[in-house]
Structure 1
């Protein structure tokens, strides 16, 4: 699905490359990963993106949507025991692309194929 959206996915964690290797070889979910896993052993990336729990030495589960110009357009951060909703991430990416192409907004519940709504101050409160 991400390929259809012309979107690159990177997995980044504070685990070592060796942990990633074992995870992708032994875990049923790890075997399904078809994108690069990057190691943030220095925790620099996690700190920069504000997901590092410095007290406990791990990163929260975060997903960041970065546009072609390198600007963060959306993010979701979950506590450690809660996984991310991939369907919602895909919806957000599709909605951002829709907005970029049409100038229209993607209201709550919007899905690809929906007409969206006009944006601008004159439309506030009308939808």
Structure 2
């Protein structure tokens, strides 16, 4: 339950009864959430979709690839980066160099 509370992925209200037990009130819905957490336990990406919205498996794989690449090489993966694409150094010079060639 801690994740559902911290990231608001359950509809309804949670309260506690007089014995300290958690009580859920309202219509039970589990929103679809995605959390990418790095090796240090830092949340690097989070998204929670409402019921009528789907997720893209290809985008999830791209984000996991980008996070793994960044952790391994320390470079920044720009928007629409895919495995095998060029990344950039997280410096002013690295950004300038990348942008001048794209």
Report the TM-score when normalising by structure 2: 0.68
Check whether the contact 2:88–2:94 (CA below 8 A) recurs between aligned residues: no
Structure 2 residues not aligned, in runs of 5+: 13-25
1:47 match: 5
1:78 matched to 2:78? The reply is no
Structure 1 residues not aligned, in runs of 5+: 1-42
1:87 matched to 2:45? The reply is no
Partners of 1:102 and 1:56 in 2: CA distance? 45
CA RMSD of aligned residues (A): 2.1
Q: What is the CA distance between 1:119 and its match in structure 2?
A: 1.1
Partners of 1:101 and 1:66 in 2: CA distance? 15
Residues 1-127 of structure 1 aligned to structure 2 (within 5 Å): 43-54=1-12, 56-120=27-91, 122-123=92-93, 126=96, 127=99
Greater CA radius of gyration, 1 or 2? 2
Greater RCO, 1 or 2 (C-alpha within 8 Å, sep 6+): 1
